[in-house]
């Protein structure tokens, strides 16, 4: 029985390295971006109808409109439509005032019956734009983002290629002043956008148009029905995959930088990412006929599936790897130690490669987030890496402390430490969830301890815990609502 079980358990343990392999794969592809992806040099200025869904955005909408009017783009080829989703604050008055100040450039579209969600709000604007027939491309953005002056023309130049159906930009964390949480988000966006989307450019298959910067060619929008999907919480991803399945390419433009305000607390991040995670569950199920299917083009390739499912199934990999390690320990302790060291050796190689590569891709972000980059997996995981590389460093040290305290450590110490390291891959998600509960329940009173706990547990495990929570939330059939992230308007550029 052991001869049959051991190989299966070893395979399950090493399956925990799949996300690590996928991470290295993405960064290797990103390194080829300059050589494999050709960008049109000629300027292209299609008539762009810009759509901003807005619900109670008084804190940010005025600044956003001013920045859009200052874009390096011909004024007669850009119209801005603010779709007001029955806002109850000063949003309508602010937008109407801007529309009067800039007639023919800013338009206020009011929905008297709101609350149906972001996708319905966008579609209200799209129906108006399509009825007018003026546009050649549509740009959908969030109400709080700041487009850098050349960003739109960097994006539209790709539309000179008739094979390109949609373009997205590089969303960067821009909360001012920054905090420990926003620095974690900033580093995450280097890996999830600057690197991952470069890699997807090389593959020829993009997973998602960033919600804050979705540029769609008119023909591509019409090819997916002329409106945004309203049946999922990931309408941007549905649009992205739909455009590509209809024959259009989706391109990431790394120089089109768009600054956005991001959550500053664990609770705020959980709320935002839980919606994203549930959307990914819905999209995975909806497009189940695409994955690893030759008829789906690049979307059906092994490389794209590796990238998608390494993120989507990461909590599963972590739990099964931990469970398999503990089971293998019960069967053959020596073999479990060897497999454990192999897994965490892969972990340290990936950690160093991904972290250093991220710093090189976006040096400006690296300068302000290097601590968060180094501590992304958490202090506990970094200690486990050291333990896997050289166990006596910890066993002897801790044993020495106990003996100095008059306690005989015995063999139980090594066993306890070993089992803790085995279960940490999955236990880290539970620890992250407990930190979230602490933050949600006590708020400002415990913020002084929440930040150190996240550094200890890890921002990566926190994201995995949110993904696992999304599984549960979707399985329970919870209501889908537009849970808008609270904005303060404190966002700006960094040079």
Same domain flag for 60 and 160:
yes
Q: What is the CATH number of the domain that holds 87?
A: 3.90.550.10
Residue 1 confidence (pLDDT): 46
**Residue 433 within a domain:** yes
Give how many domains the chain has, as a whole number.
2
Q: Give the residue numbers spanning the domain of 244.
A: 31-277
Exposed, middle or buried by CB within 10 Å (0-12, 13-18, 19+), for 325?
buried
pLDDT of res. 443:
81
| 173 plus 56 within the same structural domain | yes
- Tell me whether residue 104 is in a domain: yes
> Is 316 within the bounds of a domain?
yes
Q: In whole angstroms, what is the distance from residue 483 CA to residue 182 CA?
A: 19
Do 432 and 376 share a structural domain?
Answer: yes
Asked whether the beta carbons of 446 and 476 are under 8 A apart, the reply is no
Does residue 140 fall inside a structural domain? yes
| 375-398 residue pLDDT tens | 999 999 999 998 888 877 776 777
CA distances from 468 to 180, 278, 313, 430, 483 (A): 24, 10, 9, 10, 19
Residue 294 resides in a domain: no
Question: Tokens 């794209």 label which residue?
Answer: 304
At how many degrees (to 10) do helices 363-374 and 333-361 cross?
Answer: 160
pTM exceeding the 0.85 threshold for the entire prediction: yes
Q: Which residues of the chain have pLDDT under 70?
A: 1-3, 395, 402, 407-411, 480-495
Please indicate, yes or no, whether residues 272 and 316 belong to a single structural domain of this protein.
no
Which of 229, 262, 277 delimits the end of a domain?
Answer: 277
Within 106-210, where are the H helices?
118-132, 151-156, 180-189, 196-203
């Amino acid at each position: 029985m052991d001869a049959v079980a051991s190989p299966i358990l070893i395979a399950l343990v090493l399956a925990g390295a799949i996300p690590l392999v996928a991470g290295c794969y993405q960064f290797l592809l990103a390194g080829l971006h300059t050589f494999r992806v050709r960008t049109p040099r000629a300027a292209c200025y299609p008539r762009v109808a810009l759509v901003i869904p807005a619900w109670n955005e008084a804190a940010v909408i005025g600044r956003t409109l001013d920045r859009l009017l200052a874009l390096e783009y011909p004024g007669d080829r850009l119209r801005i439509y603010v779709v007001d989703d029955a806002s109850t604050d000063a949003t309508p008055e602010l937008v109407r005032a801007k529309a009067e100040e800039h007639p023919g450039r800013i338009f206020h579209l009011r929905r008297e019956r709101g609350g149906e969600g972001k996708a319905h709000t966008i579609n209200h604007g799209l129906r108006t734009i399509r009825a007018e027939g003026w546009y050649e491309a549509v740009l959908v953005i969030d109400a709080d983002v700041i487009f850098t002056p050349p960003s739109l023309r960097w994006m539209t130049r790709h539309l000179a290629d008739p094979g390109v159906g949609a373009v997205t930009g590089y969303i960067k964390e821009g909360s001012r002043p920054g905090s420990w949480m926003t620095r974690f988000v900033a580093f995450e966006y280097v890996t999830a956008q600057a690197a991952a989307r470069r890699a997807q450019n090389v593959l020829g298959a993009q997973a998602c148009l960033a919600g804050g910067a979705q540029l769609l060619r008119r023909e591509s929008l019409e090819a997916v029905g002329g409106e945004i999907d309203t049946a999922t919480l990931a309408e941007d991803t549905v649009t992205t995959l739909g455009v590509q399945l209809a024959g259009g390419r989706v391109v990431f433009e790394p120089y089109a930088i768009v600054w956005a305000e991001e959550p500053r607390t664990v609770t705020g991040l959980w709320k935002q990412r839980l919606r994203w995670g549930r959307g990914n569950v819905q999209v995975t199920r909806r497009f189940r006929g695409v994955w690893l299917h030759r008829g789906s083009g690049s979307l059906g390739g092994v490389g794209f599936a590796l990238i998608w499912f390494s993120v989507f199934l990461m909590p599963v990999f972590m739990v099964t790897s931990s469970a398999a390690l503990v089971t293998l320990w019960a069967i053959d302790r020596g073999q479990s130690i060897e497999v454990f060291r192999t897994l965490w050796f892969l972990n340290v190689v990936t950690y160093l490669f991904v972290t250093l590569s991220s710093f090189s891709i976006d040096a400006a972000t690296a300068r302000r987030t290097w601590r968060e980059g180094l501590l992304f997996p958490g202090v506990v995981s970094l200690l486990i890496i050291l333990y896997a590389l050289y166990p006596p460093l910890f066993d002897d040290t801790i044993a020495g402390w106990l003996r100095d305290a008059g306690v005989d450590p015995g063999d139980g110490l090594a066993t306890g430490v070993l089992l803790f390291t085995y279960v940490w891959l999955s236990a880290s998600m539970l620890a992250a969830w407990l930190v979230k509960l602490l933050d949600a329940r006590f708020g400002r009173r415990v913020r002084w301890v929440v930040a150190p706990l996240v550094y200890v547990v890890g921002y990566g495990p926190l994201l995995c815990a949110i993904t696992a929570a999304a599984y549960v939330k979707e399985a329970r059939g919870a209501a889908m609502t537009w849970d808008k992230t609270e904005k303060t308007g404190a966002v700006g550029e960094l040079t």
